Chain A
């Protein structure tokens, strides 16, 4: 079935070990004058999963693109030296860097294929799923249309996509994120490649869907003996699937080795630092308060100090009662929130967890009155703010501030960051200019930045620094409540750990209450006092962090926790309680009567929805 390939035998070719499928030797890639990859080496064997890990900008994706020679297309990158040796199916060893573009085309998608991070943008929106899967089959395997269609159907069924026959004639927008990624994998596997390169394949997916997709990749690897090069920033994913690990930092290979060796005895200080900043589920199981990360082996003194506890006797700073929010859509309406009630005590961090579409961000936006609720009330410091108009709201709004998810989009690019932080004070109009300047420079120092940096523009900062600026802006007016909507999920782990430490520290010093919205269970376990689990617009379980994590009661909470990848390769789970299929749609007809969950008390503050 394979094409006959006429590759030039390479005279300079040195032999590879007979099990080796791909070997990268001394690879150098540069973009303009900037070195993107320096002296990179990697060996990939058949049936092996090799994880390439590193933080953003470390050069891991560039390496993957260099293997497929996608660097020279469209980007200004250039492979300056090195070898990428690949063993063809006929046993011949070729250097991919010396092949012509035509020869590369017969390899890409045929013998080496790739899946990308963003499943929505990597599928062509105007072609049906069937057409897109059939394309590589017709192109590389010379199948007829009819054969290709049958094979596509077969592939989709193997990816365990429900109603595969119907999906073939659907378009990408009609599929959920998880299904799109399955389609991408089906396309990548269509020609039974020897090597599958997966560039952050599960980063954009929910944790339960991520677990399903990782399971699928594992299964396909075992079935077809495919070598997988998994590029990821997530150490949990690495621990879950990898056999070999290579760590990249600042465009160089730091360390490479067996997954157990890397996790248990990391040799290089960078690897040690990276591993210490990874939030591990269960790391604080015996501790009932938020706990800072011990970065780079240094214990944080603040963890030893007695922490202030949230004051549950005082009036809650934020009280939400029976909050309802619908979004009208063509087919009816989205039931984003269904009678959600919760209280937030002074000095408390309440985490709202759940998967995308469960309504957690809607809840955060409603609390800050960035959206208007349909029913229910929001009491801030005992005052109902849900029915105030914009001018009545103004004096109360300073008590509740928000930190957003994307540090790249939440600062005005046209404005100096000092001006952005000063803006709330300028609008308030109470302070004089030099007082504002004083306050802003104090805030910059408070969040760990240099006061000199106030006059810079957002693009001159890294993601972590920008998030610190956003925190400074949120703190400008001395709020009581801060809504953090996925505020650390876009950050690299080491930066994430620092920002979380800062947030815990600020809570201790300023007595802040956080509504911490997140999908990342391991992060939530670090920062929160209490946790509320949301599913389809309703809270299914709420209780102290230890209660939720140590003795989850609701089946959804259990599944959510079991789907979290554990950053310990020796605890790799064989069988998990995977959520089969997908979360049902929250879109209903206008005449639909929602079923409101009833709760039972498990213990003290721990409530769980009663299941049938």
Chain B
């Protein structure tokens, strides 16, 4: 496919992406989400560099409530510092979520786009594959994959990605089926645009809005999935993660609320931030809302 970057396009004065960014910044809740997301990511990336500690170290008496010691968020059942756990656990959680979401989005959009665009036997085969993955219990399949290999972060991310792409494929296919019938796609065809060009440059940009929202939701789902796997003891035992913190302290939840609550709040804030950003991107990709 002959593609040209937008700076080569002669009639551009500012790129559509720049317009989208302007639109995004004008949206308050999206901006709040972005600030929140950036803070969470910087906390997880920079925190471990600034505070040298081992999240697995026993630092105080087990199950000390917040405020009862110098460890402001308290300690868990092994006397580990929850604040350090949150700072160090973020990296693993975010890395798994981002990788898993990337995998599921890539598989989902590819399969959905091909099935929606070409139809016929291509669609039959791809939809059968999608259905096969849909009817398998996702958690069970992920558990099998992790047990087969090793419970390392990479395998966990892969397992989550592989079991969670089906809704993305369905949505992409639906959007493609709708958009490919519109006249501007016919118009592109009548000027000899290649199939690749039509898929990537004509249909996909017009399908972006719901796909971005879905991607944001996927990141949220991946974070929760990782927490669920860790909760079941299938996390990477050498890596502290927010899910693992909740999972390991679940038995003490009636006596000590803090070891599960603080990582829980972090997961909640991350999912919320991603959703707000996704919503903002959705609006930003709608040319009708772009201010002019």
User: Contact residues of A with B, CB < 8 Å?
Assistant: 368, 370, 390, 393-394, 397-398, 401-402, 404-406, 409-416, 418-420, 422-424, 426-427, 429, 433-434, 436-437, 440, 454-460, 470, 473, 476-477
* Chain B 157-198 residues near chain A, CB threshold 8 A: 182-184, 186-194, 197
Instruction: Determine if B11 and A404 form an interchain contact, defined as CB atoms under 8 angstroms apart.
Output: no
For A390, list chain B residues within 8 Å (CB): 192, 194
User: Contact residues of B with A, CB < 8 Å?
Assistant: 2, 4, 8-14, 16, 182-184, 186-194, 197, 202, 205-206, 208, 285, 287-288, 290, 292
Instruction: Determine if A397 and B11 form an interchain contact, defined as CB atoms under 8 angstroms apart.
Output: no
Instruction: Determine if A402 and B193 form an interchain contact, defined as CB atoms under 8 angstroms apart.
Output: no
Instruction: Determine if B9 and A422 form an interchain contact, defined as CB atoms under 8 angstroms apart.
Output: yes
Instruction: Determine if B183 and A404 form an interchain contact, defined as CB atoms under 8 angstroms apart.
Output: yes
State whether A413 and B287 are in contact (beta carbons under 8 Å apart), knowing that A404-B186, A433-B8 are contacts in the complex: yes
For B205, list chain A residues within 8 Å (CB): 412, 414-415
For B10, list chain A residues within 8 Å (CB): 422, 433-434, 436-437, 440
Can you report 18 A-B residue pairs in the complex whose CB atoms are below 8 A from each other?
A370-B190, A402-B190, A405-B183, A413-B288, A415-B205, A418-B11, A420-B184, A423-B193, A424-B191, A427-B192, A427-B193, A437-B10, A437-B11, A455-B14, A458-B287, A459-B287, A459-B288, A473-B187
For B2, list chain A residues within 8 Å (CB): 426-427, 429
For A426, list chain B residues within 8 Å (CB): 2, 4, 9
Nearest B residue (CB) for A429? B2
Our pick among B182, B190, B193, B290 for the contact of A401 (Cβ within 8 Å) is B190
For B202, list chain A residues within 8 Å (CB): 412
Min CB distance A367 to B, Å, is: 10
Our pick among A398, A410, A413, A455 for the contact of B11 (Cβ within 8 Å) is A455
Nearest B residue (CB) for A400? B190
For A477, list chain B residues within 8 Å (CB): 191
Instruction: Determine if B193 and A413 form an interchain contact, defined as CB atoms under 8 angstroms apart.
Output: no
Min CB distance B205 to A, Å, is: 4
Instruction: Determine if B287 and A427 form an interchain contact, defined as CB atoms under 8 angstroms apart.
Output: no
Give Cα A284 to B161, complex, Å: 68
For B193, list chain A residues within 8 Å (CB): 423, 427
For B14, list chain A residues within 8 Å (CB): 455
For B9, list chain A residues within 8 Å (CB): 419, 422, 426, 433
State whether A470 and B11 are in contact (beta carbons under 8 Å apart), knowing that A409-B182, A413-B287, A414-B16 are contacts in the complex: no
Min CB distance A160 to B, Å, is: 35
Give Cα A390 to B191, complex, Å: 11
Min CB distance A437 to B, Å, is: 3
Give Cα A424 to B192, complex, Å: 8
Instruction: Determine if B13 and A397 form an interchain contact, defined as CB atoms under 8 angstroms apart.
Output: no
Give Cα A402 to B185, complex, Å: 12
Nearest B residue (CB) for A396? B192
Our pick among A401, A416, A437 for the contact of B191 (Cβ within 8 Å) is A401
Instruction: Determine if A440 and B11 form an interchain contact, defined as CB atoms under 8 angstroms apart.
Output: yes
Min CB distance B189 to A, Å, is: 6
For A470, list chain B residues within 8 Å (CB): 187
Give Cα A434 to B12, complex, Å: 11
Give Cα A413 to B202, complex, Å: 10
For B8, list chain A residues within 8 Å (CB): 433
Give Cα A470 to B191, complex, Å: 12
Our pick among B12, B184, B288 for the contact of A411 (Cβ within 8 Å) is B184
Nearest A residue (CB) for B191? A424
Instruction: Determine if B184 and A409 form an interchain contact, defined as CB atoms under 8 angstroms apart.
Output: yes
Our pick among B182, B189, B194, B292 for the contact of A370 (Cβ within 8 Å) is B189
Nearest B residue (CB) for A476? B191
For A473, list chain B residues within 8 Å (CB): 187, 191
State whether A460 and B183 are in contact (beta carbons under 8 Å apart), knowing that A412-B206, A419-B9, A423-B193 are contacts in the complex: no
Min CB distance A106 to B, Å, is: 39
For A423, list chain B residues within 8 Å (CB): 188, 191, 193
Min CB distance A344 to B, Å, is: 17
Give Cα A470 to B184, complex, Å: 10
For A458, list chain B residues within 8 Å (CB): 287
Give Cα A473 to B188, complex, Å: 10
Give Cα A411 to B191, complex, Å: 13
Give Cα A426 to B1, complex, Å: 12
Nearest A residue (CB) for B288? A459
